[in-house]
Amino acid sequence: MLVAFSVSPATTDAPDGSVSEAVARAVRVVRSSGLPSETTSMFTTIEGEWDECMAVVKAACQAVAEVSPRVALVLKADIRPGWTGQLSAKVERVEARLRQDDVDGGDAS
């Protein structure tokens, strides 16, 4: 399964409203988990089995909770048993279609 999630403190004392310190704590948890992952400006996506993904999400939330009394979590999952390597394969399939559209002269709609 793929799990895209965003975890951050719901409050911050930073004058500019930044939550980067707390988010970095969560990303450290993800990276130390050993699961395939990708972090973008809005979400971190991990790939693995249900229990191991949810354990990482929980640990990331706990890491943020260590520095904030309130934590916000947004989570989206693609549950597709038997499939692995989808963190990059899904993107590669879309990119291949875009390249084909360029060759064909645009979209087919």
Q: Within a domain: residue 109?
A: no
Answer yes or no: are the C-beta atoms of 22 and 67 closer than 8 Å. yes
Tell me the residue range of the domain where 66 lies. 2-104
DSSP state of 42: S
70 part of a folded domain? yes
Note the pLDDT tens digit of each residue in 25-70: 999 999 999 999 999 999 999 999 999 999 999 999 999 999 999 9
Number of other CB atoms surrounding residue 90 within 10 Å: 15
**Which residues lie below 8 Å from residue 36, measured CB to CB, with a gap of 6+?**
46, 47, 48, 87
Can you tell me the mean pLDDT for 14-34?
A: 93
pLDDT in tens, 62-107: 999 999 999 999 999 999 999 999 999 999 999 999 999 888 876 5
CATH of the domain at 92: 3.30.70.930
Name which of 6, 7, 81 is nearest 43 in CA terms: 6
Whether the per-residue pLDDT at 108 is higher than 70: the answer is no
Residue with tokens 């988990």: 33
Number of domains in the chain: 1
